[in-house]
Amino acid sequence: MDFKNVTLEMSLKPFRDTSEETARDVCRHLFEQWMPLLRHAEQVSVLLWCSDGSEVLDYAGDPDAPFEWARYIGRANAKRPAPGDPDGVALWSRSYLYCDDPPTFTYGWLKRLVAAIKEVGAQVTGLPVRVGETFDPGPEFAESSFKYERHPEVCAGTTMGEGSFVCCYAQLHGDDRPYAGFPDGIPEGTPFGTFFGRQCQHFLSDLGFDYIWFSNGFGFGTETWALRGVLFDGRRFSAEPCARVRRENLAFWQQFRAECPDYPIETRGTNLSTGMDLSSDAVPLSEIYRGGFGLEPPPNSPWAAINGDFGIELVGWMSHIAEIPGETFPFRFYTHDPWWLNSPWLDRYGREPHDIYLPLAVSRIDEKGAVRTPTACQFLTADDSYGRLPDQVPNEVIAHILTARRDGPDGPGPLVWVYPFDEYHDWTFGPEPRLEEVFFGDWFMRGAVSHGLPLNTVISTRALRTVLDADASRLAGSILVSPVPDADGAWERALMSHVQAGGSLILYGPVLRAGERTLEMLNLRRADALSGEFGIELASRPDVIEPGLYADRLAHHELLSAGGVCAVPADGSDPATHVLASMRQDAESRVAALWREPSGPRRGAVAWVRGTVACDPEKTGGHLLVPLDPRECFPAEVLMRCALGALGIELKAELPAAAGGGGAEFELWVAAHSDPMLCIARRRNGYFFSGHCPDTTVRQHMRFPQGAPLFLGLDALLVEGRSTYVMPPAWHRECRVFIDGQEDGVVSCREQCSSEIGLERRLLVRGLSDATVRFYPDTGSEDRVTMLRDPRWPFVAGDFLTPALHEGPGGRWLEVEGVSGDLLISW
């Protein structure tokens, strides 16, 4: 359960003067307030946001020289007022000093601070203490004459306006100013990687730092926040620059490491995903990971904190950890923002822990089949925009971190995303580029997760092949979710072996390059490709909603969705094929989603969703694609949840009837609606559900192959055999009991005190009516479980049932049938 490392990030704002006493007092407060978490760490790190990294660029080796530091609130290098702010008073238009008389800091003072952090940290925590330095490529945190006056040529990125972000593979013009690594000045044409690497080597070693943090996508392309880039201009894709950009990006890492060979590198990564970065900016992540550059992979992005977009956060993170450069990867949580006058835990999240429980349910499966979870935990930041270190935040956050860690996955989730990490690189840099498909895949999955697909386990295609070659049934308890594989390759064979071993599979994406075996398995053939507007016909409604919430038309834009739709049934009379959704255009019809029942005793069910990125193709100039209004265009990403329901996991949302009759209330609900988010972790044979409800009036209906799930501590309203809940904005619940055969009623599952020597736990299930109860016992406790019908104190005598023990790919469970009334489960 312990983290290998916990990182406390902080600015210099808490140090209100340059005295040794202040430095030690602040450090002592910092470590003491986080001690309840640090007790569960093997190492503690403090990552200092001294400036924006310009203190490294400007460093000339003089300990008495002052440096520009991040003493501002608001944008430090604003060039013009932000839109809608004619007087230039907003934080995005200008900066404000965080206090009336901020101190002046020198490099010598910073060296003494680094030493004090290590000394006080070791005294308070008893742990090894590291201190890191940060480099940010953008204009936000501190004024930078290097980036925006002396060497603007390195700022090729336009993320925050023209010439706003440093491009890692830029070249410098010459100057005659002395620097620590270049005492005679910078020669014309010096690669930025060479200059920055040499400056880091001097700065880090002279001042006692232990590692460097690359912030905001630095090292990973030019446009590290935007969906556009050198390959995608918002209107078309061009593979022509791929080879050049790949070469230049890799050259940065080689040049940096030639000058700064040994200091560890930790990375923020981009705000997007592997596929998004490849298709827009040709970021060669595979070669960066495998180049021996000594870096840590990126943590989860801050999109959940910024705008609540968990789809991009979870999909982006899983795509970045499907393969990793070593054995470790970090999780990051936003407690305070020291620059923009917000403290996410207190305001953006409203003290709700959804951005803790959802990402900490994420895991990766390695090539040995082992489930891996984050090994490090990072907090941006310990101090707020005024340099305060409020105890409230660690006091509240730590308990959720420890609970999420305790309940984190030790097995694959019900869904496992098969991520084509290597294939996406081949489709970008290979002889026949397929940028549109790389772009489509991750953007579509972003929408699917945003619309409630419970995806939180990832495995790369490379690891999948290795795992299934060793044991084809290894993942039979999970539904694999994968893009359509190319014909006659190892990826296709691995998916086939999973299905033949009894596992289920959901494929998504175009079938233009699908093999005959895949098409035969899906009962599909290719017809002429169509695009544009379609009518959408559904076999069943994806959610329990009023008419008008989802449009009956679908807009399929080739640009965002990897071409047109071309699939039709190969055999329209096949009784095993069930079309879930069709797209109709004039007299033509194409399959949007289908599923097929198993055709043999060990074969699993399969489903396919063509996939449409239901976003506006005219709005590609920002950071993220903008979803279309679901009242005007059907959100095709919802079909992934329809396919999941056909394979046995039904997850439906219900708009309350009070708001469903139309009028202003209904319109307001539609405008603000976002589907409930869900992640499901398997831990010690149990199920741990974590969710986020942007709209807390929505009811959630759930049913799994083993029955309706009963969340510990809650009441479930059964509706047609599904358990129904109304949940808060953030929730996390254990589930070990599923019931089947009971269509309605109110059923609950509550923890009880054991009150008996030798017992660890007791659960009381109430409200049963001729139900089949399936109980998933804690690993190793199967032989100690008792089930007492209609229990009476002191629970040592009565109608004890004899459960049947079952074992399947999804675990071991104890089952009793025909139970009415109450049932006490003890072990």
Residue the block writes with tokens 């270190």: 389
pLDDT of 674 above 90: no
pLDDT of residue 720: 95
CA angle (120 as vertex; 115, 122 as ends), nearest 5: 100
Q: Among the listed ranges 3-12, 160-169, 392-401, 796-805, which one has the minimum average pLDDT value?
A: 160-169
Q: 567 pairs with which residues across the strands?
A: 526
Above pLDDT 90, what percent of the chain?
88
**Based on the domain organization, do 144 and 16 belong to the same domain?**
yes
Q: Tell me what the mean pLDDT of segment 726-755 comes to.
A: 97
Q: Report whether 747 contacts 715 (CB < 8 A).
A: yes
What DSSP assignment string belongs to 227-290?
S--SSB-SS-B--TTHHHHHHHHHHHHHHHHHHS-SS-EEE---SS-HHHHHHHH---HHHHHT
CA 24 to chain centre: 37
pLDDT of residue 70: 97
Most confident of 89-93, 263-267, 545-549: 263-267
Closest alpha carbon to 776 in 749, 823, 809, 737: 737
**Based on the domain organization, do 708 and 636 belong to the same domain?**
no
pLDDT-derived band at 655 (thresholds 50, 70, 90) equals confident
Say if 616 falls within a structural domain.
Answer: yes
pLDDT of 168 above 50: yes
**Length of the chain as a residue count:** 827
Q: Report whether 737 contacts 749 (CB < 8 A).
A: yes
pLDDT-derived band at 656 (thresholds 50, 70, 90) equals low
Say if 664 falls within a structural domain.
Answer: no
pLDDT of residue 222: 83
Q: Where are the alpha helices (DSSP H) in 166-212?
A: 192-207
Q: Tell me what the mean pLDDT of segment 191-195 comes to.
A: 98
CA angle (93 as vertex; 87, 95 as ends), nearest 5: 110
Q: Report whether 302 contacts 334 (CB < 8 A).
A: yes
Q: 331 pairs with which residues across the strands?
A: 377
> Which residues, other chains included, contact 207 with Cβ-Cβ below 8 Å and sequence gap of 6+?
107, 110, 111, 114, 133
Q: Tell me what the mean pLDDT of segment 525-547 comes to.
A: 90
pLDDT of residue 673: 52
Give backbone dihedrals phi and psi of 80, rounded to 5 degrees, phi first. Answer: -155, 160
**Based on the domain organization, do 444 and 339 belong to the same domain?**
no
Rounded distance between C-alpha atoms, residue 106 and residue 587, angstroms: 75
* Domain's final residue, options 374, 406, 438: 406
Top pLDDT among 143 and 661 is at: 143
Q: Tell me what the mean pLDDT of segment 100-128 comes to.
A: 98
**Based on the domain organization, do 325 and 443 belong to the same domain?**
no
pLDDT of 348 above 50: yes
**Based on the domain organization, do 448 and 538 belong to the same domain?**
yes
CA angle (818 as vertex; 815, 822 as ends), nearest 5: 85
Q: Tell me what the mean pLDDT of segment 185-209 comes to.
A: 98
pLDDT-derived band at 814 (thresholds 50, 70, 90) equals very high
DSSP percent split of the chain into helix, strand, coil, nearest 5: 25, 30, 45
Q: What is the DSSP letter of 367?
A: T
Rounded distance between C-alpha atoms, residue 541 and residue 725, angstroms: 19
579-600 residue pLDDT tens: 999 999 999 999 999 999 988 7
Count how many domains the chain has. Answer: 3
Closest alpha carbon to 50 in 100, 114, 138: 114
Residue 159, sorted as left (phi over 0), alpha (psi -120 to 50) or beta, turns out to be: alpha
* Inter-CA distances, 623 with 303, 316, 486, 694, 765, Å: 10, 14, 31, 21, 48
Q: Report whether 592 contacts 555 (CB < 8 A).
A: no
Q: Per the structure block, which two tokens stand in for 435?
A: 């940028």
pLDDT of residue 492: 97
* Domain's final residue, options 648, 668, 698: 648
Q: Report whether 359 contacts 313 (CB < 8 A).
A: yes
Q: What is the DSSP letter of 402?
A: H
Q: Tell me what the mean pLDDT of segment 473-490 comes to.
A: 95
**Based on the domain organization, do 717 and 770 belong to the same domain?**
yes
Rounded distance between C-alpha atoms, residue 46 and residue 29, angstroms: 13
> For the chain, how long is the longest CA-to-CA vector?
91
Closest alpha carbon to 565 in 607, 598, 613, 602: 613
Q: Tell me what the mean pLDDT of segment 221-247 comes to.
A: 92
Exposure string for 127-148, b = 16+ CB within 10 A, e = fewer: bebbbbbbbbbbbbbbbbebbb
Say if 624 falls within a structural domain.
Answer: yes
Say if 667 falls within a structural domain.
Answer: no
**Based on the domain organization, do 385 and 426 belong to the same domain?**
no
54-97 residue pLDDT tens: 999 999 999 999 999 999 999 998 878 888 888 889 998 899 99
Q: What is the CATH number of the domain that holds 579?
A: 3.40.50.880
pLDDT of residue 657: 53
Rounded distance between C-alpha atoms, residue 790 and residue 653, angstroms: 33
pLDDT of 5 above 80: yes
Q: Report whether 410 contacts 371 (CB < 8 A).
A: yes
Say if 157 falls within a structural domain.
Answer: yes
**Based on the domain organization, do 372 and 479 belong to the same domain?**
no
CA 58 to chain centre: 36
- 3-class SS at 7? strand
Above pLDDT 70, what percent of the chain?
97
Run of H or E including 117: helix 107-125
pLDDT of 666 above 80: no
pLDDT of 358 above 60: yes
* Domain's final residue, options 380, 406, 432: 406
- 3-class SS at 798? coil
* Inter-CA distances, 16 with 71, 101, 386, 626, Å: 11, 9, 10, 43
pLDDT of residue 670: 47
pLDDT of residue 586: 93
Q: Tell me what the mean pLDDT of segment 42-49 comes to.
A: 98
Say if 399 falls within a structural domain.
Answer: yes
CB atoms within 10 A of CB 515: 18
Q: Tell me what the mean pLDDT of segment 554-578 comes to.
A: 97
Say if 665 falls within a structural domain.
Answer: no
pLDDT of residue 603: 86
Q: What is the DSSP letter of 707?
A: B
**Based on the domain organization, do 372 and 457 belong to the same domain?**
no
Q: Among the listed ranges 173-182, 377-386, 535-544, which one has the minimum average pLDDT value?
A: 535-544
Q: Report whether 215 contacts 268 (CB < 8 A).
A: yes
pLDDT-derived band at 1 (thresholds 50, 70, 90) equals low
pLDDT of 176 above 90: yes
pLDDT of residue 548: 60
Q: What is the CATH number of the domain that holds 312?
A: 3.20.20
Q: Tell me what the mean pLDDT of segment 104-112 comes to.
A: 98
pLDDT of residue 547: 61
Say if 788 falls within a structural domain.
Answer: yes
Closest alpha carbon to 193 in 138, 261, 117, 130: 261
pLDDT of 601 above 80: no
**Based on the domain organization, do 198 and 224 belong to the same domain?**
yes
pLDDT of 665 above 70: no
- 3-class SS at 103? coil
Q: Report whether 288 contacts 241 (CB < 8 A).
A: no
What range does the domain containing 175 cover? 5-406
What DSSP assignment string belongs to 608-653?
EE-----B-TT--SSSS--BPPTTTS--GGGHHHHHHHHTT-EEEE
In this structure, are strands 129-135 and 211-214 parallel, antiparallel, or unpaired? Answer: parallel
Task: State pTM to two decimals.
Answer: 0.96
- 3-class SS at 495? helix
Give backbone dihedrals phi and psi of 185, rounded to 5 degrees, phi first. Answer: 100, 175
**Based on the domain organization, do 382 and 424 belong to the same domain?**
no
Q: What is the mean pLDDT of the chain?
A: 94
**Based on the domain organization, do 473 and 450 belong to the same domain?**
yes
Q: Report whether 735 contacts 688 (CB < 8 A).
A: yes
**What sign for the dihedral angle of Cα 623, 629, 633, 635?**
positive
pLDDT of residue 273: 97
